[in-house]
Homo-oligomer: A and B are copies of this chain.
Amino acid sequence: MTDWGLLDPGAADRAGTDDDAVLATMVEVERAMLRAWGDVLGERLDAQADALDASAVDRGALAAGVERDGVPVVSLVPALRTQLDAAGLSTDRLHLGATSQDVVDTALVLVARDALRASRASLVTAGRRLAALAHAARQSPRIARSLARHGEASTLGVLAAGWLEGVTSAIDAIDATRFPVQFGGAVGTGAAADAAAGRTTGAAELRAGLARRLGLADPGRSWHAERTPTLAIASTCAIVIAPLGRIAGDAVFLSREEVGEVRLASAGGSSAMPHKQNPVDAVAITAAAVEAPGLLQVVASAAVAGDERSAGRWHAEWSAVRRLARLARSASAAVDRLVGGLEFDAARAAAIVRGAGPAGARPDVEVLAAASDRIVDAAVARFIRTAGTEARP
């Protein structure tokens, strides 16, 4: 019994975050752990690592294991052991000194990191497009609105620059996020790993090696019951999604038939009205932006852990963190499509500002022109600096 996307327009990009991908990542963690043990113990364990095969694991048995044990790793490890046995390889070093949480947490950090990397790539492309839009429209007047009323004159360039600032902040948030490995054994002391290594630094060496092989940070500790790392990752996802939701909302409004400052290329169909063209990318982003705050709340609630691993709160974290990562990736891809097909109608924007009465008469045209130049330049410069890219391809 599976979910394959029937009800998820806001989370359509499931690449790298679906259960198969998470399972593959869990096996990747076990594999990296074997190699790291190889280094710590001075053994050759590459054959064992190579022999592990996520695609051959029985999904039905794993799902049943989740229901029986509350965690998939209790079933996964024997399944992998069977693979090693079948290959005539030793199983002694598999999952050595580790507990379920080491595998689940590390795998979810990897899944989130990769989703946010994909998100970042989409954001850089979208940012370039917005930079070009802003530059081209820096002297195109429009009416700026506040509290849903005409405020005073601005430019389409300032509008696009404002959107770009959100994209840049999203990239900045991703770049500031730490993705730490988790390793602590049964109750976080690493004692079993120390014992297996035969020295007091065993767990620390294994954790460092695991981090290096997976490209994660070594936090120098086990964070099994100190959940600020996952809460920080979840916050980043929400910080990525919020400004994209704003772009989508503005684009939906400004492309309304009565407004028309913006034209959107993206268009979904309707089952009742064949003539309709729906702003489907903006819809998807908005759906993600409505859902993400609730998921962030779940992770923040779950972060109030207990004991050396809490009885239920930790478990609530998994699907919320995974889904936040999926939403961030999906919304970033959708915003890339949205702005890729977004055009300004400068003539229509100018007509609105001309008809806007006292609101449109402010401020002085030359002052605005200079301010617009400055704002667009600053936004583009911050984007380039943050994204580490040229503004244009």
Contacts and interface: CB of A to CB of B under 8 A. Distances in A.
A340 interface: no
A194 B150 CA distance: 21
Interface stretch (A35-43, A114-122, A129-137, A241-249): A241-249
Contacts of A235: 231-232, 235, 238-239
A50 interface: no
A313 interface: yes
Contact of A313 (B162, B229, B272, B290): B290
A114 to B, nearest CB: 14
A307 interface: yes
A144 interface: yes
Nearest to A100: B271
Interface string A215-226: 000001101011
Given A154-B308, A239-B232, A367-B195, A268 B69 contact: yes
Interface in A338-371: 352, 356-359, 362-364, 367-368, 370-371
A277 B291 CA distance: 32
A292 B12 CA distance: 22
A100 B307 CA distance: 30
B66 A276 contact: no
A379 B220 CA distance: 9
Contacts of A77: 271
Contact of A158 (B189, B231, B302, B374): B189
Contacts of A320: 291, 294
Given A228-B166, A231-B238, A322-B7, A312 B300 contact: no
Contact of A312 (B192, B268, B287, B322): B287
Interface in A11-64: 11-12, 14-15, 18-23, 59, 62-63
A384 interface: no
A311 B279 contact: yes
B245 A304 contact: yes
A250 B225 CA distance: 11
A282 B70 CA distance: 10
B195 A147 contact: no
Contacts of A308: 144-146, 151, 154, 162
A301 B290 contact: yes
A280 B148 contact: no
Interface in A49-90: 59, 62-63, 66-74, 77
A256 interface: yes
A162 B81 CA distance: 33
Contacts of A158: 188-189
A272 to B, nearest CB: 4
Contacts of A186: 144, 146, 151-152, 270, 272-273, 362
A173 to B, nearest CB: 7
A124 interface: no
A81 to B, nearest CB: 11
Contacts of A364: 191, 195
A252 interface: yes
4 tightest Cβ-Cβ pairs between the two chains A and B: A286-B312, A144-B187, A293-B300, A99-B272
